[in-house]
Structure 1
Amino acid sequence: MTEQKEIKSQSDDATYGPASPELYGLESERIRQTSGILGLLFGDASNAPTNIAGLVMLLIFVFGGVILLYPSAIPLPEYLKISTPIITLILGYLFGKKS
């Protein structure tokens, strides 16, 4: 019988990997130092415009839901006249963006 030796690679003992807490901490510290407080909310320069557009669209939908559920000074048709062009502008930006 041939004796099989168990080969243990160095990666088995390593604590650095794709989901490593150490690397995550280093990366988040780098982002915090280079991007500031707004960078923590919206991401780095390559992702920030998309994240901000998504946040604005989410807020428009939330306010629309509030207007539907509770009586307000702005009637729903007037709100839709204001918000529809903003939503289509955001969708045009998100889907028409060149990478």
Structure 2
Amino acid sequence: MGEIERLVPSGIIDQWVFHLRRQRSRAQDAIWLLDQGFSIHDGRDGVALSDASERYRREHQTVIDEVNTLLELYDRINLRTSEYIAVETNKARRSTDPRI
């Protein structure tokens, strides 16, 4: 099956990137709080049943890692250094072209 080319307006892409950066910031803040001694507990009716701090730390670290990967891809595409950018087609040479 062939690949479908879809054009997404740059404004929408910018909104996604803004959202990803916000999610990464929130995850970094949560990890910082855990590093400062705060803890997160699973519980019921306001009663703590078990410490869930390590699980939350792993989940937030996963968010950070995945967002970093997506933002690196975004930057490579926008900086035109990505293998995902199609090679620009060779334009016809003109008589004023210095490569002739």
TM-score for both structures, normalised by structure 1: 0.39
Higher relative contact order (CA 8 A, sep 6+): 2
The structure carrying a bigger helix percent of its residues is 1
The structure carrying a bigger strand percent of its residues is 2
TM-score for both structures, normalised by structure 2: 0.38
